[in-house]
Amino acid sequence: MNGKRVGVGVAVVAALLVVCGLPLASVITEAPAEACAPAAAQATSSAGTRGGVGRWNSEQVTNAATIVTVGQQRGIPARGWVIAVATAMVESSLRNLRGGDRDSVGLFQQRPSQGWGTPTQILDPVYAAGKFYDKLLRIPNWQQLPLTVAAQRVQVSAFPDKYGEYEQDAEQVVAAVTGVATISDLPGASLAVCGGAPNVAASGWTLPVQAAVGSGYGPRAGRLHAGVDLIAVRNTVIRAASSGEVVWSGCDPGTGSCDIDGSPSTRGCGWYVDLVHAGGYGTRYCHMVRRPDVRVGDTVQAGQPIGLVGTSGHSSGPHLHFETHQAVCGGSRCDLSTANSTDPVPFMRERGAPLDESR
């Protein structure tokens, strides 16, 4: 993260804390070692802009900082800040709106007719954030719930799957306004299970997750299962198996909604990433729990986090479907297909990063 972005975040929160009467030191804590750090340094993010973070401008970031400050002042764990900011992103694009659907107003589009308060009260961002947190705290085990589930139980929206789409943006903004490098520097803010540090072999390859092979490469129900299923718990960090470039990052068009758990009758990879590597190799990572952490065109390093294990798409439970491919590029086009897939078990063994076959 660049220094400008940290400076913006600290300045915004510091100003708000003066207004709220909260000591700056109680929010800007010393960051611990990054639990999900890649094996090599990642490129500096270019997301920060003057007064803003990514696509969120200075007004929107200031409103997010208010939400975070209220949460910290009330002793809400950092996970709650992320849920609240993501909710406000969906409901109002982090703008303190004077109107909306029916009688909805404010950052969270709360409705006076539903007992959230008077319009004047709800238009006060501090009040609105406090009311959101009040209801969030009444939800059992809210810190362990998927963000979209926790937010929906507060908001009771007609679009319950929408909130999860903004989880990464919310994590980015919360990290920026609290002055930390990444969301993993705020204990409990993310559900990510980081596991051990990646061990990159001399070949430049590493395990995408530290997990055993459940289902192997080969024919299955009349079709080629073109990879291996690595059995890992939901939200385990998925890492790039080698340095390369992102050529696909998104929801499989065949899946439909990737923001809900899949099933054996659902089609496609769900949320997934394709990478191409030196030597014409490619890797695919399927069934992520949410939108991947990388974008098309990004350059990644071996061991860099690219997403979280989930069960979106054609899946019966949390796991990473991992594929290896060879000769994937021809001319200006790179394509990972069943035809150029290869068994990941010998592929990774030959590169000094053997998969766990103990199951």
The pLDDT tens digits of the residues spanning 131-165 come to 999 999 999 999 999 899 999 999 988 887 788 88
Q: What percent of the chain has pLDDT over 90?
A: 71
pLDDT for residue 232: 96
The percent helix, strand, coil of the chain (3-state, each to 5) is 30, 20, 50
> Strand 52-53 and strand 212-215: pairing?
unpaired
pLDDT for residue 37: 55
pLDDT for residue 195: 76
The pLDDT tens digits of the residues spanning 162-217 come to 888 899 899 999 999 999 988 888 999 998 888 788 999 999 999 999 999 999 99
How many residues in the chain?
359
Cα gap 65→62, rounded to integer Å: 5
**Which band of pLDDT confidence, cut at 50, 70 and 90, is reported for residue 260?**
confident
pTM for the predicted model, two decimal places: 0.77
Q: 290: closest CA among 163, 110, 153?
A: 163
What tokens does 354 get? 């053997």
What tokens does 278 get? 């030196």
Q: Is the pLDDT of residue 27 over 70?
A: no
Give me the residue label for tokens 């990514």. 54
Domains, the chain, in order of start with CATH, read 3-185 (no CATH), 212-350 (2.70.70.10)
